[in-house]
Structure 1
Amino acid sequence: MPNEQKPVNPVKLDANMRIPQSATPSFNWYSPLEQPFHLAGFGWLNEEKLYRRLPANPAWILPEAVNSLANCTAGGQIRFTTNTASLAIKVKLSGAANMYHMPATGQCGFDCYIGAPGEQLYYGTTLYDAKQTEYESMLFTNMEQDYRSITLNFPLYQGVEEVWIGLDPAAQIGPPAAYDRNEKVIIYGTSITQGGCASRPGMAYTNIVSRRINREFLNLGFSGNGKGEPELAHILAEIPDPACLVLDYEANCVSTENLQATLPEFICIYRNKHALIPILVVSRITYAKERFQAQLLQEKEDRKQVQMRTVKQLQENGDANIYFYDGSNLLGEDAHECTVDGVHPTDLGFLRMADGLTPLLKKILAD
């Protein structure tokens, strides 16, 4: 008789895929809400002390889905310097990992980068039982006791109720390196902006660009719900010290007609508060099915033309600080190999998006 087929469990067969069970060193635990830690990516943190991307009680009524998705911590970062030899993290999530096409490490995990601005290198990701909503994970241990700049990226698709940083009892902690300028880059968009479906938080394109441009980035991507509502324009206009606003919401715009109505209004609302702040309008990336569905390709072209005409008209009316970028160029000629489901980028897709947008954002910010 042939051998009976049994389920394959790679975690049991490959030691490199197991969650480490090493003895936990003795740590002192710190809240990143306290000095000298610096939290980035949460525009209302100073007032509310919440790991949340929009105000808890805004002056404008939020759509219910947007209000919920604002609790996802995409783009949040913990920054500090330390000479600790070991670094751990304790996390209490709002819910467990539950996505079929995105790893738990991206949805609910933190990842760690080491290095000064412009020199940050990936070190590791939290490893834990993805069925749990509370976990403790070692990020590194037995390192030389040299001072290092640490950046920890928050989960992309889940809320974080509590987070604690574990350091050696004798370790010293200092503030991170200062940003080149204090103004923030604000990126409003869709699930792609939010980071779906990166394998870990640091690979969302907003986080990649933040490692190349030493500014604070606010990720305001809302999965399935970046629709250009005027309420969101009013709320974004309240964020102080903006450096640039990126509008990347075509993929959720509902219809071409809706995009034609919402885009000029969104820009007008923002311009009433920020007359000279650069605005970059980015059309959506290429979807895999476009090669097979002419209607989908034509829809993308129609919507791209809407965005191009809107920007051109505003430029002709005297707005010298508004720009358009054709997002269909971002993934390259083999765009069909850059997504997990034909729509949402893999790490490769996000890296290519960052490669395309970084030089343009650098130029806009420099100007």
Structure 2
Amino acid sequence: MEKEILWLRPDEKPFEINGFAWFDKEKIYRRLPENPQYKIPEAVDYLADNTSGGVIRFRTDSDVLMIKVKIKEVSGMPHMPASGQSGFDCYIGKSTKEVYCSTAIPDINSKEYERKFFQFEKKEFRDISLYFPLYMGVEDVLVGIEKNSKVAKPSQFKEKGRIVAYGTSITQGGCASRPAMGYTNILSRWLGIEFINLGFSGSGKGEPELAHLITMISKVRCIILDYQANTDYQRYITTLPEFVKILRNRFKDIPIIIISRTPVSIWAFDKKAKTQWEKGYKFQDKFVKEMNKQGDRLIFSYNGSVLFKEIWQESTVDGGHPTDLGFLTMAKALYPILKRKLRV
């Protein structure tokens, strides 16, 4: 027997929207302000509509959960499935105890879809987390529950505050098979803390305007910078000191973790290509050590090609962008680092 479904707007209480730093003010599913006070590149402005890192959180006693989504474009990335680009993931459980349930997978040639996450026999309150698409804008989304069910505010994150991650297409989540498998989303679950994902595919290049926008975000406990892969050597050594300076002027006593680019498969055969990227890491490491000598003991440098070297040859879709296995590798490497720096 089909259940009668009540459709609710998740941008209204008691639902909670996490992962969008300006959502409480602007009420749109976007990663940067709609009209930023700092001029940003056109590509970054476009990618800010991609909803990577967004999560709908709530509790409900409904034995049925559905979703109705209107996305901004049809899915069509050649190296990333529509489930990761444009789908929604459903996890059940309290903070740090979430368990994967199912994925709402869109139709390839449509901007709208409606899917059922679950239909259980038992009616009981469950904590729900619905992860937004990684590489798609969301025009509208509705959550469907059984008509006579209740919705309540979600359980709190285990940890207060936010971690901001600024970087590349990999930071944004390319090319996870489903939204919750981007490394920032994995770490959010493991650490029990909200993440703000500011990865911009091919476009996060250390612009000072983006640093200024990050300084507007509240409740920041840690910042991760991993944008080297979007730059060449000259741009990296030019932008990194200024970017960090802007952040440190605002955030005096939080960890800033700088990670050089993740390894790529061609490095096994082209040592010259690897050497070019290693130059950037050596500059980064020297810069951080100089900051440490000047008294900033909360800035840290990590070599991405070392940090994520484990099984990297077997965990990308194209030699550079991680699969779910690659993102899991990244999360496992970063988890103990973040636990130490956050003292959790």
Match of 1:120 in 2: 98
Return 290-299 or 347-356, whichever deviates more.
290-299
Aligned to 2:340: 363
Quick check: 1:269 aligned with 2:246? yes
Decide which of 155, 163, 170 is 1:177's aligned counterpart: 155
Where in structure 2 are the equivalents of 1:103-142 lying within 5 Å? 103-142=81-120
Q: How many positions carry a matched residue from both structures?
A: 344
Ranges in structure 2 where 5+ consecutive residues have no aligned partner: none
Query: Secondary structure in 2 aligned to 1:269?
Result: helix
Question: Structure 2 vs 1, CA of residues 128 and 267 (structure 1 numbering), >3 Å: closer, same or farther?
Answer: closer
Q: Which residue of 2 aligns with 1:13?
A: none
- Provide the residue aligned with 2:287 in structure 1: 310
Q: Is the 8 A contact 2:52 2:135 kept in 1?
A: yes
CA deviations on 1:36-55 (whole Å, 9 max, x unpaired) are: 11100000001111000000
SS in 2 for 1:202: helix
Q: Aligned partners of 1:41 and 1:271: how far apart in 2?
A: 22
Instruction: State how far apart, in whole Å, the 2-side matches of 1:172 and 1:345 are.
Output: 39
Is the 2:95–2:158 contact (alpha carbons within 8 Å) kept by the matching residues of 1? no
SS of alignment partner, residue 359 of structure 1: helix
Q: Following superposition of structure 1 onto structure 2, how do residues 272-287 of structure 1 map, counting pairs within 5 Å?
A: 272-287=249-264
Pick aligned residue for 2:217 from 222, 239, 246: 239
Say which is worse superposed, 191-200 or 120-129, in terms of deviation: 120-129
Write out aligned runs for 1:1-367 (5 A): 25-253=3-231, 255-366=232-343
Residues 284-337 of structure 1: per-residue CA shift (max 9 Å, x gap): 111000001111110121111111111111111110111112211343343111
Q: Structure 1 CA distance, aligned partners of 2:121 and 2:268?
A: 49
Runs of 4+ in 1 over 4 A off after TM superposition: none
Contact 2:17 2:54 in 1 (8 A): yes
CA shift for structure 1 position 223: 0.3
How many angstroms does 1:24 deviate by? 5.6
Take 2:41 and 2:192, find their aligned partners in 1: how far apart are those partners?
A: 32
**1:7 match:** none
Letter in structure 2 aligned against 1:364: K
**Higher deviation after alignment, 309-318 or 330-339:** 330-339
User: C-alpha distance in 2, partners of 1:333/1:89?
Assistant: 37
User: Does the 8 Å CA contact 2:96/2:158 hold for their aligned counterparts?
Assistant: no
Give 1:127 deviation, angstroms. Answer: 2.9
Supply the distance in 1 between the matched residues of 2:212 and 2:89 (Cα, whole angstroms). Answer: 32
Q: What amino acid is the match of 1:316?
A: K
Range 120-129 or range 160-169, more displaced? 120-129
SS of 1:315's partner is helix
Q: Is the partner of 1:344 in helix, strand or coil?
A: coil
TM-score after normalising by structure 2: 0.98
Deviations along 1:128-154, one digit per CA (max 9) or x if unpaired, are 322110110011113421211111000
Write the letter of the residue equivalent to 2:329: R
Q: Which has the larger radius of gyration?
A: 1
Deviations 1:76-98 (A, max 9, x none): 00011111111000001011101
| Aligned counterparts of 2:215 and 2:118: Cα–Cα separation in 1 | 40
The CA deviation at 1:272 is: 1.3
Determine if contact 1:70/1:222 at 8 Å carries over to the other structure: yes
| RMSD of aligned residue pairs (Cα, Å) | 1.2
Whole-Å separation in 2 of the counterparts to 1:128 and 1:110: 9
Contact preservation (8 Å) 1:331, 1:338: no
Whole-Å separation in 2 of the counterparts to 1:307 and 1:246: 14
- Whole-Å Cα distance in 2 between the matches of residues 32 and 298 of structure 1? 48
**Secondary structure of the equivalent of 1:122?**
strand
Greater alpha carbon shift after TM alignment, 140-149 vs 285-294: 140-149
8 Å CA contact 1:205, 1:351 repeated in 2? yes
TM-score by length of 1: 0.92
Q: Say whether the 8 Å CA contact 2:267–2:274 is kept in structure 1.
A: yes
Q: How far apart, in 1, do the equivalents of 2:2 and 2:321 lie?
A: 37
Shift of 1:181: 3.8
Give ranges in structure 1 of 5+ residues lacking alignment: 1-22
Q: Residue 128 of structure 2 aligns to a residue in which SS?
A: strand
